[in-house]
Every structure is written in C-alpha cells, then in structure tokens.
C-alpha cells in the first residue's frame, strides 16, 4: 500500500511540476486576479516574463530565447516573427471563444486570416502628466509640444521621460512635424531626429519600464507612454493619496494605436496550455476584466456588456470615431529601413 501511495504522490507531483504556462508579455498587461482565475480554471501555474519595447522582445527571441508559450506582440512585430519562423499556426478548433472577437479587429494586414494571432487588447501612446503641476505652469498637454518644444520644456526640464522605443519616439516626432507616423521618407526622418535631439537635453531619461512609479511618486511630471500605464499611474496616485492626479489624453496632431495580439511560439513547451490561455482571455468577462482593471481597450465584442461605464467614457481608452481618424497603427520595418532607423536612433542616444 505504501508503494502505491508513494507512486500516486510522485505522479501528482510530476503533473503539477509540468503544468506551467510561460507567458512573455508587456509590463502591467494582465491583472493578477486574472492570472489567478486562469490558474484555478486550468489547474496550472503561470510564470510571467516582461518586456518594455517590441525591439527588446524581438531581439531576445531572435537571439534564441526559448521556454515561452504565449507572447503578446503588437501587430507590426508579427510579420518579422513569422518570417523568422518563430510562430506556429493557431489551432482554431481549440479556440471556440474566437467568435467573440470584434470583426473590425480581425484579418489585419499584419496577419490576414488570423493564421497566427488573435487580438488581445489595444492601447494608445500618448502623454500622461501630473495634473496639478501642468495646470500651475499653464502648459497645454494636448499637443506633442509638451515633450518636443524647447520653449515648453524649459518649464519642466528634468521632469519629463519618453519611451525607450525608437518607433514610438520617432512616430511622435513625425506627427508633431505634420508627417505620417509611418513615414520612411529620409528627409522627414531627419526632421524628426532633429526635433528629438533638440528636446533631449530637457528630458530626464528614456524610460519604458518605471515611468508609472516615477509619475506616481511625483519625481517626473510628464511621461510619454501607453494609455493603460497612465490609467494604472492614476490609480496608484489615488491609492497613495497624493496631492495630484495623473491625467492623460490624446494629442491633437495624432497618436499611435497599438493592437496587441496573442501568439504561440513554435518552440512552446506547452501549446495545449497556450490554447487554453488564449481561449480563456477571449471569454467576454475575462476580456472585460482586462479593460476594467488594466485600462486597455478591448477588441472583444462580447466584453462590451461587462465593461464599466466610466471606462467606456474614457476617450484615451475608447477614442471617439472622430479621434480614431487620427490614430495610426505602426507598420513593420525591415531591411534597409530598419537599419536606417537604428542608425538614426543610435545618433539620438549618443547626442550630447
């Protein structure tokens, strides 16, 4: 009998040790409660690793990083992942909740037919700010001038951060100068670079990791970042009973829209758990939880009935039809264009 019990204990222990889903995701992009609910539903454990920029994630996987099951890339990162043979096609038979997706977010140019990806959430890239300080200084936060115009920056020198992400920083500078966020015109890229280099001495740092905390503590007053992060920063400021709030909104020159997607890596140790996770996140209630707790927009039509009314009224999370016209999704850069942007970015980083 003892041998039978020991065998059963070892078997149970082995199953528990193997039932682990490895998720590689953006920072702050899933609620802890959602992770716990999934672990309970699948009787597994979720191990998460995080990145702060698409370049960081792509470079890590291209260098051979393995062990991840599900990754959440922004749309423009999917074509290079497919080209590098990093992804496996989704088994739609295991994803019945895919029917909940809003058709407007399906069949995107970066993955026609959704062979490899299904939409997870969307966010806008914008400016978050200390509402008290910016009001006191009389600065207009609705223009990208707040992070690019030296005359404005002189009032907030050392209190501004921008994302450590070449695509997003160049996209903002391009839109500030009246160009498309996806421009690859060398002259327009040069103009955007000049704008960035002139503004850089006024910035505290390139920061894609900790700007939520820095805003909440009041160490910085203006941050270029994602709408969901600004949502979290405002919640944290309220919880800490700060004398200020973290406000955020779209810029009049236009903003980028990031539609993030769930994909399964070809080297995924547990594609079965990956499918369970994706289907779990496509459930309307779970997708709405992502919006209500993290502050993302949802591409899930079945989630709408569960999204809090105050979230639906937040135009930075759910832009109006008019505002949507000014939002641009970044497209993939490859080859010479990618190398040219990398060279311009290096010059920005090394400029004094």
Predicted confidence (pLDDT) per residue in 186-228, tens digit:
999 999 999 999 999 999 999 988 999 999 999 999 999 999 9
Q: 125-256+331-350, superfamily in CATH? A: Periplasmic binding protein-like II (3.40.190.10)
Q: Which two tokens stand for residue 178?
A: 């009246």
Task: Assess whether the region 20-122+258-318 and the region 125-256+331-350 belong to the same CATH fold.
Answer: yes
Domain boundaries in the chain?
20-122+258-318, 125-256+331-350
The answer to whether 158 and 202 are in contact (CB under 8 A) is: yes
Short-list 283, 301, 303, CA closest to 292: 303
The answer to whether 165 and 55 are in contact (CB under 8 A) is: yes
- Tell me the pLDDT tens digit for each residue of 127-176: 999 999 999 999 999 999 999 999 999 999 999 999 999 999 999 999 99
- Tell me the pLDDT tens digit for each residue of 251-290: 999 999 999 999 999 999 999 999 999 999 999 999 999 9
Give the annotated binding-site residues for spermidine.
165-168
Look at the alpha carbons of 119, 207, 292, 246 in this order and tell me if their dihedral is positive or negative.
negative
- Rounded percentage of the chain residues whose pLDDT exceeds 90: 86
Residue with tokens 């749309």: 75
User: What per-residue confidence (pLDDT) applies to 53?
Assistant: 83
User: What per-residue confidence (pLDDT) applies to 213?
Assistant: 96
The answer to whether 46 and 38 are in contact (CB under 8 A) is: yes
pLDDT band at 52 (very low <50, low <70, confident <90, very high): confident
User: What per-residue confidence (pLDDT) applies to 240?
Assistant: 96
3-state secondary structure of 115: coil
- Reported pTM: 0.85
The CB-side HSE value for 38 (13 A sphere, CA atoms) comes to 30
pLDDT above 50 for 1: no
Pairing of strands 327-328, 205-206: unpaired
3-state secondary structure of 71: strand
The answer to whether 26 and 77 are in contact (CB under 8 A) is: no
The answer to whether 302 and 311 are in contact (CB under 8 A) is: no
- Residues 55 and 177: their CA atoms lie apart, in Å, by 24
pLDDT above 80 for 14: no
pLDDT band at 306 (very low <50, low <70, confident <90, very high): very high
pLDDT above 90 for 13: no
Mean of all residue pLDDT scores within the chain = 93
Length of the chain: 352
User: What per-residue confidence (pLDDT) applies to 335?
Assistant: 87
Q: Which two tokens stand for residue 153?
A: 């920056």
Pairing of strands 160-162, 20-26: unpaired
Q: Which two tokens stand for residue 30?
A: 């899933």
**Mean pLDDT (whole number) for 114-139:** 97
**Mean pLDDT (whole number) for 10-29:** 72
pLDDT above 80 for 2: no
pLDDT above 70 for 26: yes
Residue with tokens 């006191």: 136
Give the annotated binding-site residues.
165-168
Short-list 310, 296, 165, 148, CA closest to 225: 165
Short-list 206, 274, 199, 253, CA closest to 53: 206
Q: 20-122+258-318, superfamily in CATH? A: Periplasmic binding protein-like II (3.40.190.10)
User: What per-residue confidence (pLDDT) applies to 17?
Assistant: 52
């Amino acid at each position: 009998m003892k041998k039978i019990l020991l065998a059963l204990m070892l078997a149970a222990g082995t199953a528990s040790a193997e039932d682990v889903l490895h998720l590689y995701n953006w920072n702050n992009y899933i609620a802890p409660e959602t992770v716990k609910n999934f672990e309970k539903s699948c009787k597994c454990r979720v191990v998460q690793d995080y990145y702060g920029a698409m370049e960081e994630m792509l470079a890590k996987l291209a260098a051979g990083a393995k062990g991840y099951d599900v990754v959440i890339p922004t749309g423009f990162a999917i074509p290079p992942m497919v080209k590098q043979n990093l992804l496996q096609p989704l088994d739609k038979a295991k994803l019945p909740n895919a029917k909940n997706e809003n058709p407007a977010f399906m069949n995107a140019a970066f993955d026609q037919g959704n062979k490899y990806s299904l939409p997870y959430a969307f966010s806008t890239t914008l400016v978050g700010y200390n509402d008290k300080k910016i009001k006191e200084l009389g600065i207009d936060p609705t223009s990208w001038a707040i992070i690019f115009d030296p005359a404005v920056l002189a009032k907030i020198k050392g209190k501004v951060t921008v994302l450590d992400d070449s695509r997003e920083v160049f996209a903002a500078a391009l839109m500030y100068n009246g160009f498309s966020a996806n421009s690859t015109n060398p002259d327009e890229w040069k103009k955007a670079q000049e704008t960035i280099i002139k503004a850089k001495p006024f910035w505290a740092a390139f920061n894609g990791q900790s700007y939520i905390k820095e805003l909440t503590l009041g160490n910085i007053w203006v941050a270029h970042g994602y709408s969901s992060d600004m949502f979290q920063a405002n919640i944290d400021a309220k919880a800490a009973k700060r004398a200020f709030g973290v406000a955020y909104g779209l810029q009049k020159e236009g903003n980028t829209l990031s539609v993030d997607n769930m994909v399964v890596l070809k080297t995924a140790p547990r594609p079965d758990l990956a499918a369970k996770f994706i289907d779990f996140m496509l459930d309307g209630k779970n997708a709405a939880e992502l919006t209500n707790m993290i502050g993302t927009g949802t591409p899930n039509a079945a989630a709408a009935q569960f999204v809090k009314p105050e979230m639906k009224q937040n135009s930075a999370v759910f832009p109006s039809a008019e505002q949507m016209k000014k939002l641009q999704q970044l497209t993939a850069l490859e080859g010479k264009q990618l190398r040219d942007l990398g060279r311009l970015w290096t010059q920005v980083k090394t400029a004094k």
